[in-house]
Amino acid sequence: MTLTIRCTDENHTCVVGCQQALPSWEPTLRRPITKYAMTKNVFIASAEPYSGKSIVSLGLVNMLLGKAQKVGYFKPIINPDPNEKKDVHIDTVTSFFGLPHTYNDSYAFTRQQALKMFEMEDQGALIDTVIHKIKKLEETHDFILIDGSDFVGEGTSFELEANISIAKNVNAPVILVVSGDHKTVPQVLNAALTIWRSFEARELQVIGLIVNKVQADQVDSLKDFLSSQLPATVALSIIPEIKNLDAPTMKEIADHLNGKIVLGQERLTNQVDNFITGAMQVPQFLNHVKENVVIVTPSDRGDIVISALQANLSTNYPNVAGIVLTSGGQLDKPVQRLIEGLQTVVPIISVTTGTFETTAHVSSIRSRITPDNKQKIQLAIDTFNKYVDVHSLDEKLITYKSEGITPHMFQYQITKRARSQRKHIVLPEG
């Protein structure tokens, strides 16, 4: 394919044509590479939900802020909770680091909007919008972290293609994140190599692969196997499972169950590591109390509630994270009056669902890193710094060389150039 550019200064018109039509999606036009070429962005991608990508993005922003004064954070496609006004991870990253751009500048489309554009085969417009928003951020920032989609919920099949195409069109180096949660070593290897090959097949430069949530006894074997399969150009890091990062807080449990806070509002950040059903006699119940446990019990079991609060105060028992009262009932007035007089009260939440259903819901809750949980944010950053090869990633970002330009990026660049020179651009269909 030969590209020709004809500029007529007299008429202030640039005509760009080619001997064959440029496909609208991804093919690359080669351009000279400067010896010290350097990128202004990096793309984080996964191909599965709950990969722990948020740990990587928090760690990377923290790393980049040590190298650049102004760092931006951008999610091309977001999937916010219907009950929340903002995408929780955009809110977490931008508020914690005080990034100097607005929420609306931090994303391009919701997943519903992006899916509709794919169904209407309007991917080109999606790519053009993403390019414009990223380039707008680049005008006022030294570096942009681009965070791929999250693959949570239904209708996620288009997301891998969208992530690959966005990364391709903005010429971004890619860091891949794979989850090792509840997987065997062969399963993790297959997932890691499959996503790496998917990006490499589209001529994207993968500079890092991070395997997250790996069982401690699998770390060494995974590192050996993957090191033998991946080229030296890919920085490999293995993050073991950190239970404190996956543990929900009492606030998350209250939000997930749509519960009412009865008491203990000030301790909603309590971490939950275990849960039990308080439907037994007190002696048996006390034998099952574990560290940071949440007790799910009917509201008429005042004996269980009082025993749980006493166990939390006792040096002979583990900490109790909170109590969930089921079936919409209330504590008996004498019991509530007794509890209100205590100096230390764990969160007590009331829900309308029954004990069995509530217990099932609690066991299925997946924790998120939220803006109000500074302790978990710092733990994520510390985990990244401890287990990720930060030096190697930094070197690969500095030495990254963009190997091409797509038609969408080419059109953006010449249009911008022409506008700055007050020229008119003609891009023929064929």
Domain boundaries, the chain: 1-30+404-430, 32-243+372-401, 248-364
pLDDT-based confidence at residue 428 (cuts at 50, 70, 90): low
Confidence check: pLDDT of 237 > 60:
yes
Mapped onto helix, strand or coil, the DSSP state of residue 307 is: helix
Would you say 419 and 14 are in contact if contact means Cβ atoms under 8 Å apart?
no
What are the structure tokens assigned to 241, written together?
């499972």
d(CA 32, CA 404): 8
118 vs 214, residue with greater confidence: 214
Confidence check: pLDDT of 153 > 80:
no
CATH number for the segment(s) 248-364 = 3.40.1390.20
Q: Which residues pair with 179 in a beta bridge?
A: 212
- Distances from the Cα of 42 to the Cα of 13, 229, 306, angstroms: 35, 23, 53
Bridge-based pairing state of the strands 71-78 and 13-18: unpaired
Bridge-based pairing state of the strands 174-179 and 41-45: parallel
Q: Among 33-37, 187-191, 278-282, where is mean pLDDT lowest? A: 33-37
CA 178 to chain centre: 12
pLDDT-based confidence at residue 412 (cuts at 50, 70, 90): low
CA 271 to chain centre: 20
pLDDT-based confidence at residue 25 (cuts at 50, 70, 90): very low
Phi then psi for residue 240, to 5 deg, are: -70, 165
Question: According to the model, what pLDDT value does residue 408 have?
Answer: 81
Tokens 């039509």 belong to which residue?
21
Mapped onto helix, strand or coil, the DSSP state of residue 179 is: strand
- Distances from the Cα of 130 to the Cα of 114, 115, 166, 407, angstroms: 11, 15, 8, 14
Confidence check: pLDDT of 329 > 80:
yes
Q: How does pLDDT run across 69-113, given as a tens digit for each residue? A: 899 999 999 998 877 889 999 999 999 999 999 999 999 999 999
Confidence check: pLDDT of 42 > 90:
yes
387 vs 120, residue with greater confidence: 387
Q: How does pLDDT run across 385-409, given as a tens digit for each residue? A: 999 999 999 999 999 987 777 778 7
For helices 407-420 and 123-140, what crossing angle results, to 10°?
50
Residue 73, judged by CB atoms within 10 A of its CB (0-12, 13-18, 19+), counts as buried
Mapped onto helix, strand or coil, the DSSP state of residue 377 is: helix
Sheet holding 174-179, edge to edge: 107-110, 71-78, 143-147, 41-45, 174-179, 206-214, 235-240
CA 214 to chain centre: 17
Question: According to the model, what pLDDT value does residue 80 have?
Answer: 84
Q: Which amino acid is at 197?
A: R
Question: According to the model, what pLDDT value does residue 425 have?
Answer: 55
**Hey, which bits of 180-215 come out as E strands?**
206-214
What is the average pLDDT score of the chain?
A: 87
DSSP label at residue 1: -
Q: Which of 133, 217, 203 is nearest to 174 (CA)?
A: 203
The yes/no answer on whether domain 32-243+372-401 falls in CATH 3.40.50.300 is: yes
d(CA 167, CA 144): 12
In this prediction, residues 338-364 reach a mean pLDDT of 95
Phi then psi for residue 273, to 5 deg, are: -110, -20
d(CA 240, CA 243): 9
Q: How does pLDDT run across 172-188, given as a tens digit for each residue? A: 999 999 999 999 999 99
pLDDT-based confidence at residue 4 (cuts at 50, 70, 90): very low
- DSSP codes joined into one string, 67-127: T-S-EEEEEEEE---TT-SS-HHHHHHHHHHT-SS-SGGGEEEEHHHHHHHHHTT-HHHHH
